A and B are shown apart, each in its own frame.
Chain A
Amino acid sequence: MLKYKWWESLLFLAPTLLVILFVFGYPLFRVFDFSTRRIRGASGPFIGLDNYRFVLRAPVFQLAVKHNLFLLVGVPIMVLLALIIAALLFEQLRGWRFYRFCLFIPYIVAIPVIGVIFGYMLSLHGVINELLEKVGLGFLAFDWLGNPKLSLKTILIIVVWKEVGFGMILFLARLMNVSSDLYEAAKIDGANWWQALWYITIPQLRLVIEFFAVISMVNLIAWVFSYVYVITNGGPANSTQVIELWIFNKVSRGAPNPGMGAAASVLLLVVSSVFIFILLKLRLKIGEE
């Protein structure tokens, strides 16, 4: 064990602590304060809990919350898809390295780039629909981004398209460490491909799956902003409004009301914390069993 004094340890921690206090500490403290004021410029008069009332009754905010919750559906979809692709890649059929190379490309490309490209490709008279019509699948040529009933689901598809590659790589790497004896034994026992996936692959990859699931969940709450801002900016008809975008608009759009933005931020923080807390509790419980 190292010999040290406790203040020496603190010295090593100092830069990190200072930065965190500046970037997290101060804002987290202030955001509670701001949420109780009508902010114009740097500060404003105290108005109690009015901002919270305004936020919670705002129909567009309520929609945003619904949408964020809906998007979380993407997590199990991404996990499952990544698992299947990784497991199939693991079979190492001819060309698997090439497939892996290609399937990871979406993850590398930046979100605004993808957003702009898909924005044009998926417009009502865009490439995708034109191609669909050409091959006789015209009935599938929906208004992917212009129809409010479809737009959010389309965004979800785009997010999944981009993020699956990361899970695929993670799972594949971990799979390489799994002993092939397990699969040999399974084959001998007469198990089929799906059973092997369920009873061997998934348990073996449990930790990585959890890691990817947590990252995906945090990303879907936090990164969706970039997709939505670039592709639909919350529309059409508020059908792709998300909490982060709503807050962003309250801070720097034409009619700023940072006090309300702060209140919404506090709500978001509280909900995220509760969410994560529940998840951690669940994890501990599963770990105990």
Chain B
Amino acid sequence: MKKVIALGFILVLCIFLAFFVFASGGKDDKGKVADKGPEPVELVVWWWGESEAPGLEAWMNETVAMFEAEYPHIDVETLLQAVDNVIDDFTTASAAGSPPDVQFLWNGVYHQENVWRGYLEPLNNLLTPEELKHMYATDLSIYKGQQYRIGWYVVPFGMVYNRELFKQAGLSDPPELWEWDDFIDACEQLKRAGITPLGFGFKDGWWGEWYTALTIYQQADEIEDIAKLITGENKWTNPRWHEHWKRAYQLIEAGYVNDDANSLAHYQGIELFNADKVAMSTTVGSLVGEAEKSLGAENVGLTNFPRFGTGSFRDLPLTDIQGWGVSAQSKHKEEATEFLRFMHRPDRLSAQFKMANVFPADDRWQGEKEITNPNIKLMWKWFKGGSAVYLPNMIPWTFDSEVMFTAPQFFMSGTHTPEGVGQLAEDVMGRWREENPDLYESMKIWFNL
């Protein structure tokens, strides 16, 4: 009897599986009717961004559908990656000889290390200089005079605060350019009113990088200052260059940060703000919409990350640009380029803003006409008015996992002091130079932009 039940179960399981396999596999059969016209092409696109800009996935699906309708012989296969492996997978796949055709790329060293390994195609071979200018993706996408990325969306950084909770603590709206001491006072008042001032997630480390990005440029007078930190001319042990970690330490020690930061991933930390559990969090433009959805638009205020620095960039806001690249090993570079162009068509740019709340990285898009939300208008003003460079983009990736990611974790658990982290940073940098002399050479060339 048991045997019968078992066999029956296995049979049901097989039918169940077959159903789902065929249900999800159906998509591949679309558009294979090519008997005349150009050869069928499968374009593989790996990307990220839904967690940073909810709504992008819907935009992507819509764009792909429209693209395939216009180019019936091209079948676009997209894969949404996770934040931890979107770039890694590309590097690994390139090493294995089977990378995607179109790849989403973060700015700076993240894609540059792939450039130096020869995995990315110079877009100057594929797009006109006009187009490259319109779809600009910051100077950091350029190596030896060639541009390796076009922009996709702009990431303006800021700090959201909960107006309701601020009122409860007797605080008025912070100014656009908040001074550190005033910020600390506000945190103290919030804490006294029983409200957790700041909500962050340290577990997967990305916040540590955001934090360094938001603060280290405040100490810099020119971009070369950071380059010098990598070559060793400037030392991380110099208090000027670990001042920002001192400030982070201060925030954590004073108890202004949620106590479970070490168990929460980066986006879970931001979620705390949306869930009305904390008064402030660091955020990017595209996530402000989510906060407004959860808390009500009138309740969400936007300001810059507080200022403490003494460098010449100190008062600038921060923005970065996410972009696309084409794999050097792609066999369909023409089609890939068409897809890139398609994504930058005017209607697509508008749709991008409407569906995902992100500024398209294309100077032909007219933000002033399309933005209505006051918070987003503010970020547009910051973007257009000139912003600082996302400096961790210049620092070798090893530095992320060994220093930037771990610093807040260290402070939360009390295992390192800010000076200790400064020393650690110097050590890591020195070791990197010794262990990767070839990448170091490429990096030096890159900095002479």
Contacts and interface: CB of A to CB of B under 8 A. Distances in A.
Contact of A125 (B203, B260, B396): B260
Contact of B397 (A59, A239, A254): A254
Contacts of A257: 435-436
**How would you classify the secondary structure of chain A's contact residues: helix, strand, loop or mixed?**
loop
A124 B260 contact: yes
A147 B413 contact: yes
B111 to A, nearest CB: 11
A249 B85 CA distance: 11
A58, A148, A149, A236 interface centre (most CB from chain B within 10 Å):
A236
A255 B203 contact: no
B100 interface: no
A237 interface: yes
B262 interface: yes
B203 A235 contact: yes
Contacts of A224: none
**How would you classify the secondary structure of chain B's contact residues: helix, strand, loop or mixed?**
helix
A146 interface: yes
A253 B413 contact: no
Interface in B254-275: 259-264
Contacts of B436: 38, 255, 257
Given A145-B263, A146-B260, A253-B401, A236 B88 contact: no
Given A58-B431, A254-B400, A257-B436, A40 B259 contact: no
Interface in B1-15: none
Interface in A156-177: none
Interface string B432-447: 0011101000000000
B415 A237 contact: yes
B415 to A, nearest CB: 6
Contact of A260 (B88, B261, B435): B435
B154 interface: no
Nearest to A232: B203
Contacts of B415: 148, 237
Given A41-B95, A236-B203, A253 B88 contact: yes
A257 B205 CA distance: 21
A255 B263 contact: no
Contacts of A60: 402
A233 B113 CA distance: 23
Contacts of B434: 54
Interface stretch (B302-310, B367-375, B404-412): B404-412
Contacts of B401: 249, 253-255
Given A235-B205, A236-B413, A255-B396, A41 B117 contact: yes
Given A238-B406, A254-B87, A257-B436, A149 B413 contact: yes
A272 interface: no
Interface in B201-215: 202-205
Given A54-B435, A58-B431, A146-B262, A233 B413 contact: no
A40 B409 contact: no
Contacts of A123: 260, 263-264
A255 B113 contact: yes
Interface of B: 84, 87-88, 91-92, 95, 110, 113, 117, 202-205, 259-264, 396-398, 400-402, 405-406, 409-410, 412-413, 415-416, 427, 431, 434-436, 438
Interface of A: 38, 40-41, 54, 57-60, 123-126, 143, 145-149, 232-233, 235-239, 249, 252-257, 260
Q: Top 8 nearest A-B pairs by Cβ distance?
A: A146-B262, A124-B260, A146-B263, A123-B263, A254-B397, A237-B409, A236-B409, A255-B397
